[in-house]
Amino acid sequence: RWTAERYGYRTKTGGFGMTVYISPNPGKISASEVALRAAQILQNHGASVLMCEDLRTVCNAAGVVYLPLEQCLERTDVILTIGGDGTILHEANLSLKHAKPILGINLAAAVFWHLEVSEMESKLPAVARGEFQLDNRMLLYAMFWAMTLGKAIALNDVVVTKGRLQQAIDFSIYCDDILVEHYRGDGVIVATRPALLRI
């Protein structure tokens, strides 16, 4: 069990509590409503809540601090996404350099790492107090050559495909300079086993 007190998270008033950045998916119909309810629950249990200033007009709540995205990512202890897996992946890419844990509230049909909306009342108070466990997962760092050298970091998978080529292509997969397998096909997916925050 990781607690706010043990890891030294303090609110501006000197008490122990978490700062949570809430990121709702604007494409989900109920995301703003769920975000406002999540903000209320977190604040009622001692957390400070941040949202991106772009949401001030569509997701306005008393006590929430609205800041530019970069400041939200710098100041938060936890990122709470409202949406589906795509929302988590989007936020993870934005926040890589800040290395903040992410928890999702599910508004989609099929998801990997989320709480259900019905669990917010029982689970978010623990987030507010910093009582959660982190599941650290490996990221993928990909380098590729086209016209120039490209680099990318992926949370869950890297896909290499034939693009517009009509025929299948050959792949030789190496791990630590040791040949794992040779494949011929449309593409190869290299994937991690993702998980983020457990309550």
Alpha helices in 13-119 (DSSP H): 31-44, 69-75, 85-95
Look up residue 44 and give its two tokens.
């009622």
Catalytic residue among 54, 85, 170, 177: 85
3-state secondary structure (DSSP) of residue 7: helix
Cβ neighbour number for residue 133 with a 10 Å cutoff: 10
CA distance 52 to 38: 15
CA distance 154 to 176: 19
Alpha helices in 50-159 (DSSP H): 69-75, 85-95, 120-129
Look up residue 159 and give its two tokens.
């896909």
Q: Is 85 a catalytic residue?
A: yes
Look up residue 89 and give its two tokens.
């992946």
Closest of 30, 10, 27 to residue 120, by C-alpha? 30
Please check whether residue 1 is in contact with residue 37, taking contact to mean a CB–CB distance below 8 angstroms: no
Residues acting as catalytic residues = 85
